[in-house]
Structure 1
Amino acid sequence: MLTAWRKTNARRAARAARAAAYAKEPDAGRRLVEHFPDSLWPNVRQVVAGYAAIGDEIDPQTLLETFALEQARIALPCVVAKDQPLTFRSWTLDQPLEPGPFGTREPAASCSELTPSLILVPLVGFDLQGRRLGYGGGFYDRTLEQLKQSGPLTVVGLAYAAQKLAKIPAEAHDMRLDWVVTEQGAHQIAS
């Protein structure tokens, strides 16, 4: 119970920091390309799962456009149901997105499902031990656990640098990031 309370407080602080960073530089997501780690570019030529930014999340659109130029197959997350892992559907930059649950935007149900080897994860907050705070629904934790069981997966959190917290309280089910990329730089998480 104490961990949940600490997460709630950390989430509140990180959301305020994200909102302030977005207000200051709403187009900061364009700079993610500059800091995306060179060592991960070979993975880009496979299936990359991104996301359509909601509200003040850092926007990965420019990064996804760059990946598409590198011949990546792009997929976006789709909510199946509460307490279920996400699925990923194929998406091209010219395809419209449909409204999904919780304010998300998703590729059409007719788009094929793909399994990513590189996944870009939105977040509320992060620390340099690879812990992330999401919105509290556990969608990405369940999804990452399932994907890691089915093969190699690199998990990259995308955020504003201001969303970094000293330490995020962790629970056993929390899945860690391999990298965090911000508008100011990239952080590889030691395993």
Structure 2
Amino acid sequence: MQKLVKIVGVCLFAASLMACDGSKDQPAATGSGTSAEQSGQTSVLGGKVNFTVPDGLQDQSGKSGSQATNMAVYADNAAQKMLIVISSSMPDDTLENLITRMEAQQKMRDAELVVVKKEEVTADGQKLQRLDTAIRIDGKKNYSSTLLGQIDKQLLTMQLTYPIEQQEDAEKAINQFISSLKIKP
């Protein structure tokens, strides 16, 4: 659980770099964790974004120790694999600049960071920025894929993290996750 809290903290730090201070955030998760666990489907931003939770991950949002209502956390029991979804107010910047700033911040925290992939992807007709990295978290190498998108006036940050030894599984999971995204403008 301590690893889960540290990873959530890293993700919140990254999201806070991009969010505007003093703005009102929209709740991230809607519905109960039970329905997400049973069907694998969940939605954020008041139902505007729907997706399939990757296999083996359960809703841990209430267990992270965070009071943020704009965040949803899904993890396996060992907190080695996780998906974190955060919504915040959209800063006055482009998604391309935001993903570049996120990359720079990650490099400052981990000098050994390796950028595996950085590209624009499309999910359900919506343009997203994708940054895949090999990053050290809590002393261990992890494969992390971060997606940034703008939905109305909200910045949607989605990060899937797996142990580096499971990079192939992580790449497959993130591609399935992107394919499952349904976005209502």
Q: Same fold (TM over 0.5)?
A: no
TM-score (norm. length: structure 2): 0.30
Structure number with greater CO (CA < 8 Å, separation at least 6) is: 1
TM-score in terms of structure 1 length: 0.29
- Whichever structure has more strand as a proportion of its residues is 2
